[in-house]
Chains A and B, each alone.
Chain A
Amino acid sequence: MGDIFVVVEHRKGEVRDITYEMLFKAGQLCREYSHNLTAVILAGHDESFLDDIAPKADRGIVYEDESLKHFNGDLYRDILKGLIEEHRPFLTLAGHTSWGMDLGPALSAKTGYPLATDCVDILVENDRPVVIRQIFSGKVFSRVSFKESEGYLVSVRPGSFLPEDIEARKGEVIKNELPADLPVPRKNFVEFVDTAAGDVDISQADLLVSIGRGIGDEDNIEELKNLANTMGGTLSCSRPIVDKNWLPKYHQVGTSGKSVKPKVYLAFGISGAFQHVAGITAAGTVIAVNKDKKAPIFRVADYGVVDDLFNVVNALKEKLNA
């Protein structure tokens, strides 16, 4: 029997969904293998979410300091390293998120515990974790084991474990003092800036006509924009379209863009990377057009069309103008 640690992720005083997803999965593993669930909270003073998180774990270990209000790679890594070396948890979970992508590898390098990133499932076989990951942007799955170690680190893909209800646990709260030998952080927070605001609010649209790298060329955007207009829909897109400056950022759907909830999401030439489809979980009906019948988007779409998108676009235009 050992510990499973969940590193609580929060921003601007609010707990991020990934935290509940990890607590849910960790709770299942704890039940099955008689481990204890520890939520580790590094936060500023008087963060109100403590009362919410603690009862979802056997114990909450809390470090409170103004320097911990925002994620700081140096401080978070060193505090967690100390804590892990003290308690030797069997498994430590962090999110495969922007800050988890900084924390996970750093913690692994510092503790020597092996790390598997972006995992969509966690199993235990012969007293060791085994994880399921996706490679090639979701076209292939892989089952990964770890070199034997005292403890293991796993970063969890957001949206992989959808919590029904998280069972109540002991919820003991332990407030720890900051370690005395903490380094002076090198990277220092300045401010948050909003990058997604703009003229069009794709999150309010009932019909989104969404385009991805498959449209091939900037010149084709106009045509798709016209199609969206004719249909009374709004144009949105995947990340590469914004990266190339073909459309402004506020058109982007996905983890680093917007979450949308249209009644119908019509996707042209989008492969369906998790960072994209995470933005359409609340969409009503998803129709995907892609010439690759193995494109991951077909696994989340309700309807699929395996064809060159321009064939479909032209046929739609003909019918609609007729």
Chain B
Amino acid sequence: MNIVVCVKRVPLTQEVDLEIDGTGKDVKKDALAYVVNDWDNYAIEEAVLLQEKFGGTATAITIGTEDDEEVLRRALAVGADRAIRIDPGDLELDGFVISKLLAGVIKDLEYDLVLTGVQADDDNCGMVGIMLAEHLGLSHAAVVTGVEPEGDEATIKVELEGGMDEVSKIPFPALLSIQTGINEPRYVSIMGIRKAGKKELKVLEVADLNLTEDDLTPRTVVEEVFLPPETEGAEIIEGDASTVAEEIIRILTEKGVMV
């Protein structure tokens, strides 16, 4: 079974005081640490698990700069067979353009399954996967928490709200957007890193992809980003830990939940 998995490198923003940059359309990113998008980590693991079980190849793809190759090398180190980076140059990207670029590469590959994450941790769109499926004409499912291939179809689980899964059958080739928790992503090993160095990492330019100007025109435009107003929200309990603990206990006692 041949699998393509789409991965994105995203900045870590927990515990960081984010600031808006000079354009007013993005946050300052130079001081941020970057990681593989959490959802894509699970998608990579799923691709590698299926490849190990059923044979075939796992190909990791990202759209990004040279720095973003880090996520491809990580994918190679945990078992992907080869990697492709599409360099967007100075193209404006939105979910639509990203999905067109990915489709432009994937359409010429051999695959049974394309995996993406449910959403990227930076833009939180949850859009690229299913748009990509439509460009490629694939059957698809979003928010997938289980995949069991059998012959030319798979039994999958789609996570619904409220602690419920929907089980369905879907024929290959298919695209699934993978939800966290579907597996337990493995750690990168020294062996893996050594092997990754020998695997193919191909770089493509937008011009290689045969896309039209319309394909490369964003459908949405970020006009402005801003920090939420500081006025709303919690009353902050000040003081050292001991004072804070006393205050929490006072609240719990007042609300009658602790005797």
Asked whether B219 is an interface residue with its Cβ less than 8 Å from the other chain, the reply is yes
Q: Are A301 and B222 in contact (CB under 8 A)?
A: no
- Write the nearest CB–CB distance from B69 to chain A, whole angstroms: 23
> A291 vs B142: C-alpha distance in the bound complex, in angstroms?
33
- Write the nearest CB–CB distance from A67 to chain B, whole angstroms: 13
Asked whether A28 is an interface residue with its Cβ less than 8 Å from the other chain, the reply is no
Asked whether A117 is an interface residue with its Cβ less than 8 Å from the other chain, the reply is yes
> A134 vs B27: C-alpha distance in the bound complex, in angstroms?
13
Asked whether B14 is an interface residue with its Cβ less than 8 Å from the other chain, the reply is yes
Pick the interface stretch among B73-81, B163-171, B200-208: B163-171
> A303 vs B238: C-alpha distance in the bound complex, in angstroms?
10
Asked whether B234 is an interface residue with its Cβ less than 8 Å from the other chain, the reply is yes
- Which single residue of chain A is at the shortest CB-CB distance from B258? A231
Interface residues of A in 289-322 (CB under 8 A from B): 291-296, 298-307, 311-312, 314-316, 318-320
> What 1/0 mask marks residues of chain A from 3 to 26 whose CB sits below 8 Å from any chain B CB?
000000001000010000000000
Pick the interface stretch among A45-53, A103-111, A163-171, A218-226: A103-111
Interface residues of A in 251-282 (CB under 8 A from B): 252, 255-259, 262-264, 266, 271
With known contacts A136-B13, A196-B163, A105–B127 Cβ distance under 8 A: yes
With known contacts A136-B13, A193-B167, A312–B226 Cβ distance under 8 A: no
- Interface residue SS majority, chain B: mixed
- Write the nearest CB–CB distance from A222 to chain B, whole angstroms: 20
Q: Are A298 and B131 in contact (CB under 8 A)?
A: no
Asked whether A126 is an interface residue with its Cβ less than 8 Å from the other chain, the reply is no
Which residue of B164, B171, B219, B226 is within 8 Å of A146 (Cβ)? B219
With known contacts A187-B169, A262-B257, A271-B14, A144–B223 Cβ distance under 8 A: yes
Which residue of B15, B163, B220, B242 is within 8 Å of A292 (Cβ)? B15
> A133 vs B224: C-alpha distance in the bound complex, in angstroms?
11
Q: Are A316 and B245 in contact (CB under 8 A)?
A: yes
- Write the nearest CB–CB distance from B169 to chain A, whole angstroms: 5
- Which single residue of chain B is at the shortest CB-CB distance from A259? B162
Q: Are B220 and A194 in contact (CB under 8 A)?
A: no
Interface residues on chain A, number (Cβ under 8 Å) = 104
> A137 vs B122: C-alpha distance in the bound complex, in angstroms?
7
Residue numbers in B under 8 Å from A176 (CB-CB) = none
> A186 vs B96: C-alpha distance in the bound complex, in angstroms?
24
- Interface residue SS majority, chain A: mixed
Asked whether A59 is an interface residue with its Cβ less than 8 Å from the other chain, the reply is no
> A144 vs B25: C-alpha distance in the bound complex, in angstroms?
10
> A259 vs B168: C-alpha distance in the bound complex, in angstroms?
26
With known contacts A207-B252, A232-B259, A256–B163 Cβ distance under 8 A: yes
Asked whether B109 is an interface residue with its Cβ less than 8 Å from the other chain, the reply is no
With known contacts A98-B160, A137-B121, A142–B222 Cβ distance under 8 A: yes
Interface residues of B in 176-225 (CB under 8 A from A): 177, 180-181, 184, 217-225
- Which single residue of chain B is at the shortest CB-CB distance from A252? B163
- Write the nearest CB–CB distance from A224 to chain B, whole angstroms: 14
Which residue of B20, B180, B251 is within 8 Å of A287 (Cβ)? B251
Chain B positions within 8 Å of A, measured between CB atoms, are: 11, 13-18, 20, 27, 95-96, 99, 118, 121-131, 133-135, 139-143, 155, 157-171, 174, 177, 180-181, 184, 217-228, 232-237, 241-242, 244-249, 251-252, 255-259
6 intermolecular pairs with C-beta atoms under 8 Å apart: A105-B128, A108-B127, A141-B225, A143-B224, A192-B164, A312-B248
